[in-house]
Structure formats: C-alpha cells, structure tokens
Amino acid sequence: MIAVRAPDHLGDAVMALGAVTALSRLAPVEVWTRGLWGAELYGGVATAVHDGDGPPPAAERAVLFKPSWRAAWLWRGLPTVGVGPRGLLGAALPEREEHRRERYARIALAAGAIDVATSSYSLRGTSPPVPPGHVGLNPWSPSATVRWPRFRALADHLEAEGRAVVVYCGPGEVAEVSAQMGRAVVAGLPLPDFAAALDRCAVFVSNDSGAAHFAAACGRPVVVVHGSTAPALTGTGRAVLGEPLWCQPCYRKTCLWGRPCLDRVSVGAVMAALG
C-alpha cells in the first residue's frame, strides 16, 4: 500500500490528483487529507480516503504532498518521500521555485511513479438545471487579495451579449455572493455534481481558487483573474493579470499595504481572454 498525505486545500489537492493517479498504477493508494471533499475528489483513484492527518501504522511507501513541518514530523516513521526537512523524511527532495503541480509530479516520480499526467477528474454526478453552453462564474474567495471586484459587471456584459451566465459558490458563501452578484447562485454542489454542471459549461471564469483548478481537471476552458498570486506557481488556464507589484506573489488573505491588487483589471481584459 502507498500512503499519501494530500494537501488540505482544494486547489492544491486537485493539482496533486495527477500525481496520486500515477501512484495508484503502482499499488493501492490510501489518502489522508483534512479537506471535507477528499473522498469526492480522490475516490476514483484511491482505495480509501481518510479524514485527518494520519499517518497509517505501516506502508510500503509513503508520499507527503502537504508542505508542512508538522506533517513531516507525524510521518517521520514511514519511508516518506517529499519536499521538506532532511532527517524527518526518508527521501527529502530539495526546494525549487516551480509550479505546485510540477512539485507534486516530482515527488511522485521520486516515489516510483513512471509518468505523471495532468490532473483529470473522471467521476460524474447529477447536474442541477443549468443551461448548456453557459459561462460559469466563481466570484468569491475568502481572501480579499485574490477577489476580483468586477464579476457582476462581467455578468451584466455577458448577458447583454445574449450569453447565459451561471454563478457558482460554496455552501457557506451564498449570502455574500448573492449580494455581490445580484443574482441567484448555484451553491454547495458536491464535486461529482459540480463536475456534471461543468460538463454544460462553455468556459469558467474564476479567481485563483480551487474551483478553477477543479474546472480545468474536468476539461473546461478556464480564465483566472490573478491578483496577489502568480500564474507560474499556482495558475491554470488563461491568466488575466493585475498590476505588477514588488510584493507579488503573496498568499496572505489581506494585504499588509492596503493595495487593491485587482482593482485595475477591467471587464474588457477578461472579455478579451474569453475570446
């Protein structure tokens, strides 16, 4: 059995999906993660998905995708491969400035995977009644530094052109997103049902978020508006960039300097990326 400590955030977990799939071709894989969506994401490739930090009492191989000293300490008794502190991991790979999905692929290859393909989500559920060919919008993020403020204006523009728009959000975001967008929202879908809805989506527009990476893994064209984050490190799809600042990339939820990273990204710039 190969034990995998997956990332706890949906975007990172999706970026690791291709690596987990590659490992599952070597031996049965069991995954540990604190994401509540873990079984929905990894259920198609893992024999078991556990909610928590682990580790298991024993494993033929262990793979640490979660970049944390605490995780490395907890998994130190296993033959664990990961990027992290020497002395705790059985095989500690060096740090590099690279895209997260490339890091996960590098770890999987060091653990014996033969080839690592792009993350692909194959499970499908039941779609809510959304129109075919719609433009999906994901306007919310708990981090103000990655939240583009013009999604409502974009929706108005798209609808004026006669294009159907569907606004998606998580289960705890309905009030904020409804107020922001002035529209009904499709909220809190399980990942299989979200994938089924995305099958009816022509293009998905999002902040840099887990939903964007999931849409890309479902094979959808994706446009991502980047503020504080860097497409070269965490991006997917077509990137629309905010004003370049000396402090980027940054992964803080609020800006220390009070700079609105995304205020200067126009609706026109996103429309141009949509094509």
Q: What is the pLDDT along the chain (275 residues), one digit of tens a residue?
A: 999 999 999 999 999 999 999 999 999 999 999 888 999 999 989 999 999 998 999 889 999 999 888 999 899 889 999 998 777 888 888 889 899 999 999 999 999 999 999 999 987 799 999 999 999 999 988 777 778 999 999 999 999 999 999 999 988 899 999 999 999 899 999 999 999 999 999 999 999 899 999 999 999 999 999 877 778 888 899 989 876 765 667 666 666 556 667 777 889 999 999 98
Q: How far apart are CA 37 and CA 17, in angstroms?
A: 13
* Whole-number pLDDT of residue 267: 93
Report the run of H or E that residue 176 belongs to, with start and end: helix 174-181
Taking CA atoms, 200 is separated from 185, 206, 257, in Å, by 16, 16, 41
Could you tell me the two tokens for 219?
A: 């094979």
Per-residue confidence (pLDDT) for residue 248, from 0 to 100: 66
pLDDT of 110: 94
Contact 12, 71 (CB under 8 A): no
Domains and CATH numbers, the chain: 2-110 (3.40.50), 134-274 (3.40.50.2000)
Cα–Cα distance for residue pair 196/35, rounded to 1 Å: 21
Half-sphere exposure of 264 (CA within 13 A, CB side): 9
Dihedral, CA of residue 115, residue 120, residue 122 and residue 124, to nearest 10? 170
DSSP label at residue 36: T
Q: Backbone dihedral region of 195: left (phi > 0), alpha (psi from -120 to 50 degrees) or beta?
A: alpha
Phi/psi at 177 (nearest 5 deg)?
Answer: -70, -40
Q: What is the pLDDT of residue 247?
A: 62
The Cα–Cα gap between 62 and 44 comes to: 19
- Distance CA(89)–CA(65), nearest Å, equals 12
- Model pTM? 0.92
Contacts of 260 (CB under 8 A, 6+ apart): 149
From CA 73, how far away is CA 85, in angstroms rounded? 9
Predicted pLDDT at 20: 97
Whole-number pLDDT of residue 16:
97
